């Protein structure tokens, strides 16, 4: 990565604007999963140890009306962060104005402040989400340096990342640095064999990822709802399974381009209804009935995928293999977790989103080399797209020795 990291900044005595991703799930004002807060702790603690004044901000949910504000306040996140840090975190419930400015100006070294949900600004013309120039300039005026540790929004050009970075010396936090190192390293310079596992509902969501990985991976294993579009283009019966009819020609083209790299399911778990307690059975594609839908991969597919994964040195996984939220259709996703958890000599990386949620929910959080905190960001990075939130950060300065030696 040729961008500055937080360790390249002098932060002692400075007001450090730190964009984090505290877009955590909440129910009735209670955080149900604090993983994103925990993942930001290394950067926050480093800045505190270096005597910075840490000013945190994040988005949370979508704000379309005034009624959305109370349930999407960051106050619970500030309280949870205070518990995790073991020190007070002052919460300022506004996104601009004298109250916020005074609170920041009265901060001492080693103190932490968090201000309110940046998307509160979206009620007035989507100023945050559309990277309003004046809003980015204003937020930048509140600090001396900027650190972006919100990988989950790095694929978006918002006022709270790109807008601020335009005006201040800026750097990536430890989490963003780690995400780029693992995901970027896996795709651009993998230890081989390199196997990708792709799931999820739609081929259209993963077109760019498949095309990019076809150039880089040795094998691509495809499951989830997107597999049925591929199976139909090959002439198999898929019953009422999800299928993007308009993407059948594209699926055929991808299979031809793959020249055997793409591995598809050989059996599936089907049901006549989409429900957690629906009757279901395992079948192959020649036996599926017209009124049945596929909701998971079958046991022979798991055996096939395990065989293809054997000996792999790098594995990147994005997207569940079935409707893992329903126990009856979670076996495929759980089996992949189990297989990868035993591959101790391989780098195993989950590219965020539902597959990350599934792995954590099923208790495999510590069994992977890296689980990404960013769904959309990791997906676009796997496509090979530049991430605006990263691109806007300051570049590393040339090494003192004057050569591209990497000793800086």
**Is residue 225 within 8 Å of residue 242, measured between CB atoms?**
yes
Active site residue 156: no
Question: Do 155 and 201 belong together in one domain?
Answer: no
Q: Strand, helix or coil at 317?
A: strand
**Is residue 272 within 8 Å of residue 254, measured between CB atoms?**
no
CA dist list (Å): 280 to 94, 225, 269, 327: 51, 16, 7, 12
Question: Do 262 and 341 belong together in one domain?
Answer: yes
Active-site annotation holder among 4, 14, 19, 36: 36
Is 397's pLDDT higher than 90? Answer: no
Q: What is the pLDDT of residues 109-164, one digit of tens each?
A: 999 999 999 999 999 899 999 999 999 999 999 999 999 999 999 999 999 999 99
**Taking the model in full, what pTM does it have?**
0.90
Alpha helices in 50-200 (DSSP H): 75-85, 98-105, 133-141, 164-165, 174-179, 185-188
Q: What is the pLDDT of residues 64-90, one digit of tens each?
A: 999 999 999 999 999 999 999 999 999
Q: What is the pLDDT of residues 318-337, one digit of tens each?
A: 999 999 999 999 999 999 99
- Supply 156's token pair: 């978006």
pLDDT at 135: 98
CA distance 398 to 31: 43
Question: Do 186 and 167 belong together in one domain?
Answer: no
> Strand (E) positions, 139-260?
145-148, 169-172, 194-198, 219-222
- Supply 306's token pair: 């395990």
Quick count: other Cβ atoms within 10 Å of Cβ 215? 10
The answer as to whether 227 is a domain residue is yes
Active-site annotation holder among 185, 208, 376, 384: 376
Quick count: other Cβ atoms within 10 Å of Cβ 340? 23
Spacing of C-alpha 101 from chain mean position:
32
The answer as to whether 393 is a domain residue is no
Q: What is the pLDDT of residues 240-262, one digit of tens each?
A: 999 999 999 999 999 999 999 99
Q: What is the pLDDT of residues 355-368, one digit of tens each?
A: 998 999 999 989 99
- Per-residue pLDDT band for 276 (boundaries 50, 70, 90) equals very high
Question: Do 234 and 93 belong together in one domain?
Answer: no
Question: Do 248 and 298 belong together in one domain?
Answer: yes
For range 52-60, the mean pLDDT: 98
Question: Do 157 and 272 belong together in one domain?
Answer: no
Question: Do 127 and 216 belong together in one domain?
Answer: no
**Is residue 316 within 8 Å of residue 186, measured between CB atoms?**
yes
The answer as to whether 357 is a domain residue is yes
The answer as to whether 152 is a domain residue is yes
Question: Do 138 and 215 belong together in one domain?
Answer: no
Question: Do 166 and 192 belong together in one domain?
Answer: no
Q: What is the pLDDT of residues 297-314, one digit of tens each?
A: 999 999 999 999 999 999
Question: Do 159 and 86 belong together in one domain?
Answer: yes
Active-site annotation holder among 319, 353, 375, 389: 353
pLDDT at 352: 77
Question: Do 191 and 261 belong together in one domain?
Answer: yes
Active site residue 125: no
CA nearest neighbour of 21 among 3, 43, 46:
43
Q: Residue with structure tokens 């046991």?
A: 299
Looking at residue 240, which CATH number applies to its domain?
3.40.50.1260
Average per-residue pLDDT for the chain: 95
Active-site annotation holder among 130, 202, 281, 313: 202
Question: Do 337 and 196 belong together in one domain?
Answer: yes
Q: Containing domain of residue 112, as a range?
A: 6-172
The answer as to whether 399 is a domain residue is no
The total number of structural domains that make up the chain: 2
Active site residue 36: yes
Active site residue 385: no
Last residue of a domain, one of 129, 157, 172: 172
Is 408's pLDDT higher than 50? Answer: no
**Is residue 375 within 8 Å of residue 350, measured between CB atoms?**
no
């Amino acid at each position: 990565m040729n961008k500055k990291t937080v360790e390249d900044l002098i932060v002692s005595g400075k007001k450090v604007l730190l964009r984090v991703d505290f877009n955590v799930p909440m129910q009735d004002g209670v955080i149900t999963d604090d993983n994103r807060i925990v993942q930001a702790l290394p950067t926050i603690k480093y800045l505190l140890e270096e005597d910075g004044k840490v000013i945190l901000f994040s988005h949370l949910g979508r704000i379309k009306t005034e009624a959305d504000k109370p349930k999407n306040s960051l106050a619970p996140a500030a309280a949870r962060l205070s518990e995790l840090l073991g020190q007070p975190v002052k919460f300022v419930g506004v996104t601009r104005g004298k109250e916020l400015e005074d609170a920041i100006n009265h901060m001492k070294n080693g103190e932490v402040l968090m201000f309110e949900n940046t998307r509160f600004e979206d009620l007035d013309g989507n100023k945050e989400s559309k990277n309003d120039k004046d809003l980015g300039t204003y937020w930048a005026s509140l600090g001396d340096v900027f650190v972006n540790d919100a990988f989950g929004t790095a694929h978006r050009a918002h006022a709270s990342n790109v807008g601020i970075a335009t005006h201040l010396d800026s750097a990536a936090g430890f989490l963003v640095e780690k995400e780029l190192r693992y995901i970027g390293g896996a795709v651009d310079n993998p230890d081989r064999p390199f196997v990708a596992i792709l799931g999820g509902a739609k081929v259209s969501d993963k077109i760019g990822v498949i095309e990019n990985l076809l150039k880089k991976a040795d094998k691509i294993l495809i499951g989830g709802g997107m597999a049925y579009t591929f199976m139909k283009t090959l002439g198999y019966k898929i019953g009422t399974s999800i299928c993007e009819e308009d993407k059948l020609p594209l699926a055929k083209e991808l299979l031809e381009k793959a020249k055997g790299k793409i591995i598809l399911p050989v059996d599936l778990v089907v049901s006549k209804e989409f429900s957690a307690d629906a009757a279901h059975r395992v079948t192959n594609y020649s036996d599926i009935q017209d009124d049945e839908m596929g909701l998971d991969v079958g046991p022979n597919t798991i055996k096939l995928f395990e065989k293809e994964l054997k000996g792999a040195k790098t594995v990147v996984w994005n997207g569940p293999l079935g409707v893992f939220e329903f126990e009856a259709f979670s076996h495929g996703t759980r089996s992949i977790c189990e297989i990868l958890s035993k591959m101790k000599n391989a780098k195993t990386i989950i590219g965020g989103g539902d597959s990350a949620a599934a792995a954590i929910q099923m208790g495999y959080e510590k069994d992977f080399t890296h689980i990404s905190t960013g769904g959309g960001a990791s997906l676009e990075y796997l496509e090979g797209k530049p991430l605006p939130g990263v691109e806007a950060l300051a570049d590393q300065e040339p090494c003192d020795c004057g050569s591209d030696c990497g000793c800086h």
